[in-house]
A and B are shown apart, each in its own frame.
Chain A
Amino acid sequence: MTEVTAANAPDGTPTRGGASAVTVARVRGRGPARWTWGQLGLLVVLATVVLFTVPNPSLAIGMLIYGLWASGLNLLVGYGGLVSFGHALPFMWGGYAAGLVLLNVTTSVWLALFMAAASMALLSLVVGAVCLRRTEVYFSMLTLAFAQLGFFIALQWDSVTGGDDGLAGIPVPTLWLPGTTLELNSLRDPLTFFLFTAVVVLVTFAALILYTESPMGRVLQAIRENEERARGCGYNTRLVQLVTFVVAGTVAGLAGGLFAMLNNFVGLQPYWLLSGGVLIMVILGGRSSLFGPFLGAVVYLLLETTLSQYYASWQLFVGAIFVVCVLAFPQGLWGLVISARPRRLLSKVRRRR
């Protein structure tokens, strides 16, 4: 290490360089490329494990949905260095959008999901344009404020959203496929629902990987490292961040739509618990990859369901996990696994000699 690691931009702002980014670099750097698309394989493995080990089907499906939501958020948090405290907004919006389509327009899965994602993409464009007027702390506070605003609107506009009671009685959606038509009933036929969700989640996850691997995704990381320099290369850095914001919002909208179909219900939850929860999944799993947050979501939901059975105050543990993660291992669970791997391999090689 040299003394210049903490270089400052000419305007005096320190270039960011935290532990999270180190792990990103580690993953992105020497010989890690196989983990980019390999994440897709890891996800298949994880989904299979969830399918066969989690007894509660609604929890298993929820893990896939929350995992996708968290992975999408990590585009902003880990890859972009933009911590959104309001990621409940696109999730809830997606839920209402899909629910309203199913209730009032058609029971088509495709149209409901399309509306959830597309309407959220449009909304993200507007919200992002305001939130990205300033970055860092401002961004966090503005996203939080928008989530709060959305919460108030959903609460007050009860003729559309059902207000405090939520959007109930969403009909079972119909899945039109070439040749056949399926009912996506999470209660009567959870396996079909799980498999459908898994396919949607895998395809979306692959798209997220592609995004991080594309030139645009690389620039996003470069901006996190040094925005001034990225500008000096000729990039409109705000545009790159805005596109990322829209992508993350769209993915969350999609996840929210799936979640509404899973429960046939959209409940109005306290926005900050929801936004906080998904953020904890990201931090717990690790900010340096897309798979990490997915793993974080699965582990978090497992902890939540187990702990809440025994302790009324299980959120105390959630807070503690959060603090310990940030303090002691900012690279998260998946970061720990990755950094432990080479050492173990090395010791195996030594033993063989």
Chain B
Amino acid sequence: MTDLILRAENLDRSFGGIHAVNDVSLEIPRGTLHAIIGPNGSGKTTLFNLITGHTHPSSGRVEFDGQDITGMAYAKVARKGLAKSYQITTVFPLLTVFENVRIAAQAAAHSYVFWRPADGIKAVTRATEEVLERIGLAADRDVIASNLSHGDQRRLDLAIALATSPRLLLLDEPTAGMSPTETAATVELVRELNRDVTILMIEHKMDVIFDIATTITVLHQGKKLFEGAPAEVKSHPLVQEVYLTGSL
């Protein structure tokens, strides 16, 4: 029995007649990088939402680090150590880069403190600086987030997720809308992050995935079509048909 960080069992969810996620199970061992691919509308984002508690499953259960989190509110799930980076860049637009990350960094130990200034909490400041350094935004710490370039905003989004010190990081298309150079840098970053945090990511660009993923799950019309190592997925005829030609 491997050490699982996340186990999803027979997740099911439909929206007004559309079976968005149909009996999908996932098992993600600690330390791996698990990717989910599939054409548009294959249920990737809904699957994510079922895990984070944004959407409640019609049936099935989700277990995070041995604990049942099915139907738990998003903020609670996040507190347990599951962080999500968003498909559409989601930052605190009018706060500085530093403030953006600090909000996340202080969440673990100092979230509801109101009797001392935030500037005085050295541990949080240090943790924030470390994350900024790691993500490569240290130079932009005083920039208002909405003034960053699109690529930098995506990285800030990632930095916020990372600053909560998660045990599982959910990335929803981290390279969406990025230039090839930015994409390469992000892939490198994700690979680096994976050294100490388990990652579950949705990705659209196949080449991005095949390099870095441990395991790939292919979704099609809400169902799990195939799951395996990148090489297996690449050569699997069914996957090629669905994903590369877009038809089945």
Contact = CB atoms under 8 A, between A and B. Distances in A.
Interface of A: 1-5, 7-10, 15, 17, 21-22, 24-26, 28-31, 33, 210-211, 213-219, 221-222, 225-226, 228-237, 239-240, 243
**Interface class of chain A by DSSP:** helix
Nearest to B124: A215
B95 A5 contact: no
A39 to B, nearest CB: 13
A235 B111 contact: yes
B146 A17 contact: yes
Given A28-B99, A217-B118, A221-B95, 6 more contacts: A5-B93, A28-B95, A210-B116, A214-B117, A215-B113, A229-B86
Contacts of B231: none
Contacts of B93: 5, 7, 15, 17, 225-226
Contacts of A5: 93, 146
Interface of B: 45, 54, 74-76, 78-79, 83-84, 86-96, 99-100, 102-104, 106-108, 110-119, 121, 124, 142, 144, 146-150, 153, 160-161, 164
B90 to A, nearest CB: 5
A174 B101 CA distance: 50
A165 to B, nearest CB: 40
Contact of A234 (B54, B78, B102, B144): B78
A10 B106 contact: no
A232 B89 contact: no
A7 B90 contact: yes
A240 B107 CA distance: 12
A218 B146 contact: no
Given A33-B119, A232-B83, A225 B142 contact: no
A210 B107 contact: no
A237 B8 CA distance: 27
B220 to A, nearest CB: 22
List the 8 shortest-distance A-B pairs measured between CB atoms, nearest first: A225-B92, A234-B79, A216-B114, A25-B94, A234-B78, A213-B117, A5-B146, A231-B75
Given A216-B114, A232-B83, A30 B142 contact: yes
Given A8-B88, A219-B103, A225-B95, A232 B78 contact: yes
Given A28-B96, A231-B74, A226 B90 contact: yes
Contacts of B94: 17, 21-22, 24-25, 225
A349 to B, nearest CB: 21
Contacts of A10: 45, 54, 86-88, 90
Contacts of A4: 89, 146, 150, 153
Contacts of A236: 75
Contacts of B95: 25, 28-29, 221-222, 225
B245 to A, nearest CB: 29
